[in-house]
Amino acid sequence: MRQVLRVQDVNAFDRLQLIEEIGASGLSIKNVHKGNGCIVIDFFSPLSEGDKTTLATVIANHSPARFQGYIVKSAEDVDKITRARINDSFGGLSPEVRQLGVMTKLLIGLLKDINNATSLSDLKSRTQQRYLTVKSKFDDRNVFIQEAETFKTDNNL
């Protein structure tokens, strides 16, 4: 027996989690499919009116954990998303390689500034500008990490 439910956003549903939740409610579920603006649920047998009410309750209460727009099931999922965010903020490649690259550029730039500075105040001004540029990248990194840790704590992951 097939039930077709119209929904606002099919991406708001985690198919596997929904299968588990419907099964846990006592309904004999076969599978769940995401359609165009609908969720299609296959059952082994026709649903009674009570079963339909149970299904409606399960669907209404279905709320997968989301972090940065992605459905997450574990702390590892949150860590992967955080790693990708840090990776993107440093311009691609692996975060470690990019962070090392940023620090290398900082050092080379500082050496150039020392060589090209006309005075101590000129050197200070050049150094502060480089510092602020690099600091902003690492501040973003720290914010991403803190958001992930808070989310994992709040969602018991």
Q: Which tokens belong to 76?
A: 């590892």
Structure tokens at 113: 């500034």
Among 53, 58, 34, 31, which Cα is nearest to 42's?
A: 31
Return the pLDDT at 34. Answer: 87
Q: What is the pLDDT of residue 136?
A: 84
- pLDDT of the residue at 9: 81
Pairs from 99-103 (Cβ < 8 Å, separation ≥ 24):
99/138, 99/141, 102/134, 102/137, 103/134
Per-residue pLDDT of the chain (157 residues; tens, 9 = 90+): 888 888 888 888 888 888 988 999 999 999 999 888 888 999 998 888 999 899 988 888 887 788 887 888 888 888 988 888 877 776 666 767 777 887 888 888 888 888 888 888 888 888 888 888 888 878 888 899 999 999 988 888 8
pLDDT at residue number 30: 92
Q: How much is the pLDDT for 95?
A: 67
Q: How many CB atoms lie within 10 A of CB 33?
A: 13
Show the beta-strand stretches assigned E in the chain: 2-6, 29-34, 38-43, 66-67, 70-71
pLDDT of residue 92: 65
Q: How many CA atoms lie within 13 A of 68 on its CB side?
A: 18
Residue 29's nearest CA partner among 38, 37, 39 is 39
pLDDT for residue 40: 92
Q: Identify the DSSP state of 92.
A: S
